[in-house]
Structure 1
Amino acid sequence: MAIKRGVSLYSYQNETFTGKMTLEDCIRTSAELGAKGIEVIGEQSFWGWPEYAVDPAAIANWHGLIAKYDCVPVSHDFMLDYKRFKGRIMSVEEQVASVRRDIEFGAQLGVKYLRALVSISPEVLVAAAPYAEEKGLKILIEVHAPLHFDHPWIVRHAEAFEKSGSDALGFLPDMGMFLHAFPPVWYEKFLRMGVPKNIADYIVKAYEDRTLSEYVVQAVRDMGAEGPALGMVETLRHNAAFEPKRMLDYMPRIHNIHGKFYEITDDYVEPSIPYDQITAVLKQGGYDGYICSEYEGNRWIEDAQEPDSVEQVRRQQVMLARLLGEPEDPRITTPAYAVAAE
């Protein structure tokens, strides 16, 4: 089985928020790119969730659109913000009940997987696993920077999953943990925020040299950095060039991939994340699930220009198609939502 291409509708968050793209526009656009796997965040695409039950008509519409554009529902990404529950932290029992509710919602959407935030404890996921098994779903904890597969918190999850004996628990690696270069869109944003160029260049070079972040933070402070410059150097504490090969040891429990990216250039390259190495490792490990585009460069450019999420997703899909050895590059005409607006 070959690796498949998909899109997290989170990629279109700007267009969704401003009303330029409907749920149908998001699914249609992804399908036009040959990215038939659809990953959805309930809060973004279904009114009222999770505070209120979703209207059955909205669920029916979802299934109608999935069928209309010949797509596959891959994952429902749930949040469980357990620290903001009625002014207190939710009990373990309440957290498990909340996860069970998301499992039920995922089952209604017809997905195979649920993305769990990395902050959720393994005991909660293990307790919810039997219900996921009943519904034929798997709960995948997102391995997201600054965490990685050797981080004690992730190791603790892996140990708990194995001890549970449940096949309904696994991992969803976010490719942002393999940040091998400081993203150009980050650099340019910090310059616009007023970071002196000499400090910005020093930070980028230090990242390139893999200098210990604590040393870089202190050096930047000694250079007289303040405000945005301190914010820029702090990104080094939360990002690193971890090794894609570490996914191999966890491959039996890896069932979905977040194709995080900040920018795809005109020549179809992500300058900060080594997707050539990543796809090679996934092929080596026999991965045959989806890589779902997750565009997060929008927040780094929207102060200077209107993000074009559709074009950025298109470019990543071209890049992925080439790396996966597909015979033709994905093409897309003017998005339907843009035509309607003219």
Structure 2
Amino acid sequence: MSKIQRGVSLYSYQEEMFLGQMTVEDAIAHAVSLGARGIELLPEQNMPAFPNIDDVEIARWQDMLARHGACFTCYDMFLDTKLRKGELLSDDEQVASIRRDLALCNRLGIKNMRVLVFVRPDILERCVPYAEELDVHMGVEVHAPWHLEHAWILRTIEVADRLNTRHLGILPDMGIFMKHYPPAFRARFERQGARPEITQFIVDQHEEKVMAEYTIYEVAVKRGGNKAEIAMAETLRHAPYANPKRLKDYAPYFRHIQAKFYEMNEDCTDPAIAYDEVIPELVKCGWEGTLSSEYEGNRWIQDAMEVDSREQVRRQHVMFDRLIAQAEAALGAEKEPA
């Protein structure tokens, strides 16, 4: 039986929460109703008093989670590199900021902290002793256009190996497994004036995994692309398809996954991200952690239709249930004696 857990990032409900149509508690209740009891928290968005969180506020959150049978799975850290206008944070100030987040993460009872990809490995190295003391895993987000084997990501892994620590690693964002171009992206650009023949060309180029710069040049220069067409071509820089089979090599370095998605079909399949390849690899390698829904499709449709984050998240978890069960059955069949 797979030990993969299901959860939801509160970021998934950002549209309805921004519009006042949902509260944080509504979001937690919805996630739990899907069997997704792990809650990924964004303190800067979800806690108005951040970073000055007192014990009363922490007790209020813990009580709310307990009422719904939920638990925190991950704390999303944000590091502002500019503290003052035109002045960068010093290294010491960056370390102090991360230590502040680690302390709050620990006070909230959370074991995993998402670290933004641009945080330097040498800064994180200075934070490792504190993370070990508080038992918090710092996972550097592997976010498109970076990927599991990008040199910048490997630098963090090298630091973790050198320090022989279990408290520094990575945290994959599933946007790195974009096998097909998202239909919602294409539709938005067409509403902005992109011609269907050009959008089809861009989709075909992505399908064939042509280098983004070639496609951008072709659209902008050879085909006289308009503003919307060029913008669509430029999204290809952030639409990589990494090899899911490499997940097993990096599984020891991550405990949490941001299950990015932009849209789910009515049949509960993802038209863009290769979850049907990713989840079997996670099951086969025995990965233990949380698949945490991160819906980001709202910004691609909000100009044309009402956003229904609840339904989108629900469909993703139906897919997770199905794919995990199928992968477990396939693995069991492989292990049965002939």
TM tier, smaller: over 0.9
Equivalent residue letter for 2:40: E
Q: CA RMSD in A?
A: 1.2
- Mapped to 1, the partners of 2:22 and 2:141 lie a distance apart of 27
What's the counterpart of residue 98 of structure 1? 97
Q: What SS is found at the alignment partner of 1:313?
A: helix
Q: Residue 72 of structure 1: CA displacement?
A: 1.7
CA distance in 1, matches of 2:49, 2:181: 37
Structure 1: which 5+ runs fail to align? Answer: 327-342
Query: Who is 1:338 aligned against?
Result: none
In structure 2, the residue matched to 1:38 is: 39
Letter in 2 for 1:173: P
Identical aligned residues as a percent: 44
Indicate the larger mover: 95-104 or 59-68. Answer: 59-68
Deviation digits for residues 185-240 of structure 1 (CA, Å, limit 9, x no counterpart)? 00000000111111111100111111121111111011111311111000111221
- CA–CA distance in structure 2, aligned partners of residues 83 and 151 of structure 1: 26
- Shift of residue 85, structure 1, vs aligned partner: 3.9
CA distance in 1, matches of 2:237, 2:77: 26
Counterpart for residue 260 of structure 1: 260
Amino acid at match of 1:234: E
**Post-superposition shift, 1:55?**
3.9
CA distance in 2, matches of 1:100, 1:55: 17
Counterpart in the other structure of 2:112 = 113
Quick one: distance in 2 between partners of 1:295 and 1:112? Answer: 23
- 1:15 alignment counterpart: 16
SS of corresponding position for 2:200: helix
- In 2, distance between residues paired with 1:247 and 1:75? 20
Partner Cα distance (1:289, 1:276) in 2: 18
Question: How far off its partner does 1:84 sit?
Answer: 5.0
Report the counterpart of residue 133 of structure 1 in structure 2.
Answer: 132
The residue that corresponds to 2:156 in the other structure is 157
Gaps of 5+ in 2: 327-338
Q: Secondary structure at the match of 1:111?
A: coil
**Which TM-score applies when normalising by structure 2?**
0.93
Q: Secondary structure at the match of 2:114?
A: strand
Q: Measure, in 2, the Cα distance between the counterparts of 1:100 and 1:318.
A: 38
Question: CA-to-partner distance for each residue in 1:12-57, whole Å, 9 max, x for gaps?
Answer: 011111111111111111111100111010112100324xx02433
Write the distance in 1 (CA, Å) between the matches of 2:82 and 2:224. Answer: 36
CA shift, 1:317, in A, is 0.7
SS of equivalent to 2:291: strand
1:227 lines up with 2:221 in the alignment: no
Looking at structure 1, the residues matched to 252 and 24 of structure 2 have their Cα atoms a distance apart, in angstroms, of 32
- Cα separation, 2, equivalents of 1:137 and 1:234: 37
Give TM-score scaled by structure 1 length. 0.92
Q: What amino acid is the match of 2:219?
A: V
TM-superposed deviation, 1:86: 4.0
Alignment check: 8 A CA contact 1:76 1:113 kept: yes
Give the superposition deviation at 1:87. Answer: 2.6
3-state SS, counterpart of residue 235 of structure 1: helix
Paired letter, 1:319: M
Establish whether residue 249 from structure 1 lines up as the match of residue 237 from structure 2.
Answer: no
SS at the partner of 2:293? strand
Distance 2:277 2:87 in 1: 43
Contact 1:146/1:240, CA 8 A, preserved across alignment: yes
Give how far 1:135 is off: 1.0
Which residue number corresponds to residue 299 of structure 2? 299
State the one-letter code of the partner of 1:272. Answer: A
Aligned residue for 1:211? 210
Between 179-188 and 242-251, the greater mean CA deviation after superposition: 242-251
List per-residue Cα deviations over 1:264-322 (Å, max 9, x = no partner). Answer: 11000000011111100101221111100000011100011121001100010111011
Q: Write the distance in 2 (CA, Å) between the matches of 1:299 and 1:132.
A: 35
CA contact (8 A) 1:259 1:294 kept: yes
Is the Cα contact below 8 Å between 1:13 and 1:44 reproduced in 2?
no
